[in-house]
Amino acid sequence: MDFGYLAVLAAAVAVIVLRFGRWRRDPGTRPLTVTLLLIVAAAIAHHPRLLDSRWPDEHSPAFLHLANWANLTGDLLAMVIAGYMGARVARAWMFDRLVPWLIAGTVAVMLALVTLWQVSDASRIPARSISELGGAASWYGVVSATALTLSGLAVCASVALARDLPARVRTALIPMALGSAAAVGLGLMHLGAALRHLGHPYADPPYATLVAGMALVCYTASGLLDHLARRPSARAGIAVG
**pLDDT tens digits for range 142-167:** 998 999 899 899 889 888 887 777 77
What pLDDT was estimated at residue 99?
92
What pLDDT was estimated at residue 62?
65
Other CB atoms closer than 10 Å to residue 21's CB: what's the count? Answer: 11
Q: Is residue 145 part of a domain?
A: yes
Question: Which residue, among 80, 50, 79, 91, has the nearest Cα to 67 in the 3D structure?
Answer: 50
**CA 74 from centre of chain:** 8
Q: Which stretch of 30-39, 52-61, 107-116 has the lowest confidence by average pLDDT?
A: 52-61
What number is the average pLDDT over the span 84-111?
A: 90
Is 239 a residue whose pLDDT tops 50?
no
What number is the average pLDDT over the span 29-39?
A: 91
Cβ contacts of 151 within 8 Å, gap of 6 or more:
81, 82, 83, 85, 86, 180, 183
pTM to 2 decimals? Answer: 0.85
In the chain, how many domains are there? 1
Is 53 a residue whose pLDDT tops 50?
yes
What pLDDT was estimated at residue 234?
46
Q: Is the dihedral of CA 196, 116, 48, 223 positive or negative?
A: positive
Q: Is residue 158 part of a domain?
A: yes
Q: Is residue 240 part of a domain?
A: no
As a whole number of angstroms, the distance between CA 91 and CA 57 comes to: 40
As a whole number of angstroms, the distance between CA 129 and CA 178 comes to: 26
As a whole number of angstroms, the distance between CA 110 and CA 72 comes to: 10
Q: Is residue 38 part of a domain?
A: yes
Is 3 a residue whose pLDDT tops 70?
yes
Other CB atoms closer than 10 Å to residue 217's CB: what's the count? Answer: 18
Q: Is residue 241 part of a domain?
A: no
Q: Which domain holds residue 192?
A: 2-235
Other CB atoms closer than 10 Å to residue 114's CB: what's the count? Answer: 15
As a whole number of angstroms, the distance between CA 17 and CA 211 comes to: 24
Bridge-partner residues for 199, per DSSP? 135
Q: Is residue 68 part of a domain?
A: yes
